[in-house]
Copies of this chain bind each other. A is one copy, B any other.
Amino acid sequence: MKIQPVNETVSLTRDLDTGTEAQREAVEAIIEQVRQKGDTALRELTKKFDGASLEQFRVTKEELEGAYSQISEDLLQALREAIVNIRDFHERQKRQSWMTAKEDGTILGQKITPLDSVGVYVPGGKAAYPSSIMMNVLPAQVAGVKRIVMVSPAGADGKLPASVLVTASELGVAEIYKVGGAQAVAALAYGTESIAPVDKITGPGNIYVALAKRAVFGKVDIDMIAGPSEIVVLADEKANPRYIAADLLSQAEHDEQASAVLVTNSQELADQVAGEVETQLATLPKKAIAEASIRDYGAIYVTRDLVEAIDVVNQLAPEHLEILTEEPMNLIGKIRHAGAIFVGAYSSEPVGDYFAGPNHVLPTNGTARFSSPLNVDDFTKKSSIISYSKQALQTHGHKISALARLEGLEAHARAIDIRLEDN
């Protein structure tokens, strides 16, 4: 693992993959086909891309129930406990509508309303992660979204993985369609005979799914388009290099493009971690992927002191930040940009990926400077409430007309004046 000098250009930000011209055109064509031909298009495209011949897309009650026999009791308990933890954390994010009443009769307020409907995309095959289903569905449920739909491409056998079906079933998601790719996104945005449209689409997917989400944005809302995953570990000389190496590799195994970075004020720790990464890499099943990630996007930065190390972290604005220092909790106030902050030696990043409760859908690619983890707010919207009494308008109306005329908007001013004249 490279030990590198720190400079001002240290960055995790890379150009987002916006696909090739051919990919973008393919996605536009698929969306158009689904808008024109609805379910017929979905059947054709599902046959073409997933190899499955489906008459009905909707997963049946029998399929959902049958999936349980393929999941061990221990795993089911772990899933259930994770669901409880994630639901509990997101319940704490929930906000109330509020109003305030002034003496002159003015009432102002903010009404929080859940979205009507949300579609969650679940990738197919090996990328069908139960944790991703929990992380997308639970904040929507806590927000109060009434209709939550899942879409996921079936295998050539026309089936979805048991872990996906069981997770959906445990969450109480009953409207699941075996459709994937850009065609699933198009169906969720515009609707077909069998799939009613939704107001927002979330969940990860391949480049075609990402391009389709981008293309339907505006017609519906979407979540952020994620870049490659990142971890930054901030550590001092007291940290355990074996833990750090294991955590860096847990990020690196995701993807050749993933970033794993150590920032430390200790040259000794830097050397030890570099050695440990080599040792632990040797026996990993996803060795080739992790090795490429560490080689191309891994780095160890040695800083003069902890103050400079914190500056580097804020410059990187990582998706995941682990703090393994002597007093880690005392440092979080200095962290200005990070999607999730894992504090101390026992808060390994996978704790948050699966189980602890906070969302694992996090801002990547430096966007932690201005973006947040997926959360309950993402599934609600606010409406302002303004109620002026006759008295309030009589007191303040002339100021409002004056401000309107300052901006050259006479009809605005007259809408106020016509009420003042009457009273």
Task: Give A contacts to B, CB under 8 Å.
Answer: 13, 16, 74-75, 77-79, 81-82, 89, 92-93, 95, 98, 100, 106-108, 110-111, 113, 115-116, 126, 129-131, 163, 199-200, 218-221, 242-243, 246-247, 249-250, 252-254, 280, 284-286, 290, 328-329, 332, 335-359, 362-363, 365, 367-373, 375, 377, 381-390, 392-393, 396, 399-404, 406-416, 418-419
| A381 / chain B contacts, CB cutoff of 8 Å | 337, 363, 368-372
**Are B92 and A126 neighbours in the complex by a CB distance under 8 Å?**
no
Who on chain B is nearest to A402 by CB? B78
What would 6 more interface pairs be, CB under 8 Å, given A92-B110, A343-B386? A116-B336, A285-B410, A341-B385, A346-B390, A349-B415, A354-B403
Give the dominant DSSP class at A's interface: mixed
Residue A347 contacts which of B284, B363, B386 (CB distance < 8 angstroms)?
B386
| A253 / chain B contacts, CB cutoff of 8 Å | 409-412
C-alpha spacing A269/B222, complex, angstroms: 40
C-alpha spacing A271/B384, complex, angstroms: 30
**Are B111 and A332 neighbours in the complex by a CB distance under 8 Å?**
yes
| Nearest CB of B to A353, in Å | 7
Who on chain B is nearest to A351 by CB? B388
Given contacts A74-B402, A370-B200, contact A284 B410 (CB under 8 A): yes
**Are A115 and B369 neighbours in the complex by a CB distance under 8 Å?**
yes
| A74 / chain B contacts, CB cutoff of 8 Å | 402
| A396 / chain B contacts, CB cutoff of 8 Å | 81, 351, 355
**Are B358 and A108 neighbours in the complex by a CB distance under 8 Å?**
yes
Residue A350 contacts which of B16, B383, B416 (CB distance < 8 angstroms)?
B416
| A111 / chain B contacts, CB cutoff of 8 Å | 332, 335, 341
| Nearest CB of B to A191, in Å | 12
| Nearest CB of B to A31, in Å | 14
Copies in the complex: 2
**Are A388 and B347 neighbours in the complex by a CB distance under 8 Å?**
yes
**Are A221 and B406 neighbours in the complex by a CB distance under 8 Å?**
no
Residue A411 contacts which of B108, B110, B249 (CB distance < 8 angstroms)?
B249
| Nearest CB of B to A306, in Å | 19
Given contacts A336-B116, A340-B383, A410-B285, contact A369 B126 (CB under 8 A): no
Residue A354 contacts which of B163, B280, B382, B404 (CB distance < 8 angstroms)?
B404
**Are B419 and A249 neighbours in the complex by a CB distance under 8 Å?**
no
C-alpha spacing A68/B325, complex, angstroms: 54
C-alpha spacing A233/B191, complex, angstroms: 29
Who on chain B is nearest to A16 by CB? B218
Given contacts A249-B415, A409-B253, contact A350 B404 (CB under 8 A): yes
28 contacts between A and B (CB under 8 A): A16-B218, A75-B406, A78-B402, A78-B403, A107-B343, A111-B341, A113-B337, A115-B370, A218-B365, A246-B414, A249-B411, A252-B411, A253-B411, A254-B409, A332-B385, A340-B385, A341-B383, A341-B384, A345-B419, A347-B387, A347-B388, A349-B412, A351-B400, A355-B400, A368-B381, A371-B381, A373-B383, A377-B377
